Structure 1
Amino acid sequence: MTEANRRRIPPEIVEEILCKLPVMSLNRFRCVSKSWQSLISDHCFVRKHLSHAAEPNNLSQKALILHNTAGSGNWKIHASYDGLLCIHVDRSVYIWNPCLKTHRKICDGLICTCSFGFGYDSRRDDYKLCKLSYLWRQKITETEVYSLGSGSWTKCDNFPQHYSPHYSTSVFINGSIHWLALGEKPKPYSFALISFDLSDNKYREVPLPECWLKYPHNSLDVKLCVLKGMLCVIVDWKSCFVLWAMKDYNLDQKSWTKILDIPLDLDLAFSVYYILADVKPFYMYENGEVLIGVSSERGTELLICKDNSVLFRQIIFPRQSLIGHGFVHVESLISPLPLENGEQQIN
């Protein structure tokens, strides 16, 4: 396209077209002209492109990222949000945008038991990493928050007393990072759901479903996920896989709704999944169908379930994998690099 032809197209139409393109194409188009380079690097355009990519019906700019090597403990994906991955490689933690092929090292030399959460502080337009470190001698869990905007760490109030974070994957929703926690009182192995608000750095407890007490907590496999903008709790216990969703985020137990309750004796050879299995929902489609990953001795499978039935099932790896470390990843132009590196960065 010549410069003369480009001038005939109104700038607002050019912007609407470009914001619907994948990141790989936009990276190439930076070289078309100075005006396109400026537009693609503009903060407002980056947010607009992200908003389009994150739309529920836009699957072309989403990808399922899986850790397909069972037993490989030298790296782990802790979180994915707005196209940025929080990854743990050996003893270092990075924020990485795989589409832009840019990353920032946040910390290294980790020797303590740590859990990480990652999310966006909309009040300050800043992405933040939360690190929980369990200090054995003091028997407390220390909280530190890293700001990508300032490039600095801040110490916050410690994790709530009488709870310790359950070192499963954290999730970010409604401005807060959420962890499952194990209680010490009133009795060991009791679960709680703890949130950390990135805008005020405060911890809060979120109620779990009312029927939660019916499960024997010391034999329960529990995880968190976000589906279609809803906070979800997954229970994998004995003979059932149960998925609860908080349709309206608040502190009321009645806001939880059971989405799936699948008996493990379905025609899925699910009996071999119990104990040795790893189960994680990844995505909820507009029609209510749920994409679920299952890893067992049979291999790694993707299932589509709805109304307590399995509609589709396919093995994607012939071996077990760390399916719980997988995420649905959204393409974005947001870079983890600071401004001095010459990359687009949050303001």
Structure 2
Amino acid sequence: MGFGRDKVIGNYKVVRMFFESKYYCEILDINIGEWRKLKRQPLFYVGERLKSAFVNGSIYWLEIDSFSMTQKILALDLHTKKFRSVRTPPRFCESGQIANLEDRLVIAANDRLDPHFNFNIWSMDAQEETWSITYSFPLSFSHVTVTYLDVGDDCLDGF
């Protein structure tokens, strides 16, 4: 599923995709109130539970295949109704979340190849479709603070 706005006409649209025996996509124009099947089909499978991000007239889905360790981004322009594949950041592993941050497409992901276990926010330049790290946060496991409160055994009665 995805939700966004046609940047030319201004209408809000809901997108749903089906990946059964045949791939297809339907778009609901909120003003018309009717689902319409697209002539073009999605270029590849994206998981039905994945979140989407709307940026600059297109809806984006991030598909991560943990088995083959590959990542793909599918984009749908809501005005032209054309699908396209978008290049992913050069390195991130296993998991990530796609989002809109300050009108830019971003992917937030752990970098398992980094010895410092950084959590990076990759941002895409829309004109050139190139990626750069906008923010990076260390997730070092050597500096974890654990706090607890000893309230005695009576607190556990009834559990």
Bin the TM-score by the shorter chain. 0.7 to 0.9
1:185-215 alpha-carbon deviations (Å, 9 max, x no partner): xx93411111100001100111122x32xx4
CA contact (8 A) 2:28 2:34 kept: yes
CA distance in 1, matches of 2:109, 2:97: 7
One of 56, 70, 73 as aligned partner of 1:190 = 70
Out of 75, 82, 85, which is 1:205 matched to? 85
Report the CA distance shift for 1:189/1:133 in structure 2 as closer, same or farther (over 3 A): farther
Aligned length: 139
Summarize deviations over 1:89-145 as a string: whole Å, max 9, x none: xxxxxxxxxxxxxxxxxxxxxxxxxxx10000132221100001221xx1x432110
Contact 2:64 2:95 in 1 (8 A): no
Matched with 2:101 is: 227
Matches within 5 A, 1:240-319: 240-246=118-124, 248-253=125-130, 256-265=131-140, 269=144
Aligned to 1:154: 36
Q: 2: CA distance between counterparts of 1:241 and 1:206?
A: 22
Unaligned runs of at least 5 residues, structure 2: 147-159
Distance in structure 2 (CA, Å) of the matches to 1:124 and 1:242: 35
What SS does structure 2 have at the residue aligned with 1:125? Answer: coil
Q: After TM superposition, give the deviation of residue 182 of structure 1 in Å.
A: 4.3
The share of aligned pairs that are identical, in percent, is 24
Secondary structure at the counterpart of residue 16 of structure 2 = strand
> Helix, strand or coil: the match of 1:158?
coil
Kept after mapping to 2: 8 A contact 1:221/1:237:
no
CA distance in 1, matches of 2:59, 2:129: 18
Deviations 1:273-315 (A, max 9, x none): xxxxxxxxxxxxxxxxxxxxxxxxxxxxxxxxxxxxxxxxxxx
Instruction: Give deviations 1:130-176, integer Å, cap 9, x for gaps.
Output: 001221xx1x432110011111111112210xx32143210001100
**In 2, are the aligned partners of 1:206 and 1:251 still within 8 Å (CA)?**
no
> Unaligned stretches of 5+ in structure 1?
1-115, 273-347
CA distance in 2, matches of 1:243, 1:123: 29
Amino acid at match of 2:4: G
Q: Is contact 1:133–1:143 with CA below 8 Å preserved after alignment?
A: yes
Contact 2:7-2:56 within 8 A present in 1 as well = no
Segments ≥4 residues shifted beyond 6 Å: none
Larger Rg: 1
* Residue matched to 2:45: 164
CA contact (8 A) 1:164 1:182 kept: no
Distance (Å, rounded) in 2 between the aligned partners of 1:267 and 1:120: 45
Structure 2: distance between partners of 1:224 and 1:191: 12
TM-score (norm 2): 0.76
- What residue in structure 2 maps to residue 294 of structure 1? none
The RMSD of aligned alpha carbons is 2.5
Q: Does 1:128 align with 2:13?
A: yes
Question: 1:122 aligns to what SS in structure 2?
Answer: coil
More helix by share: 1
Letter in 2 for 1:159: P
Distance 2:71 2:128 in 1: 16
Q: Which has the higher contact order (CA 8 A, sep 6+)?
A: 1
> Quick one: structure 1 residues 122 and 260, their matched pair in 2 at CA, closer, same or farther if it must change by over 3 Å?
closer
Please give the alpha-carbon distance, in whole angstroms, between the structure 2 residues aligned to 1:195 and 1:265: 34
Alpha-carbon distance, 1:222 to partner: 1.0
Assess, with a 3 A threshold, how the Cα gap between structure 1 residues 171 and 252 changes in structure 2: closer, same or farther: closer
**1:178: which partner in 2?**
60
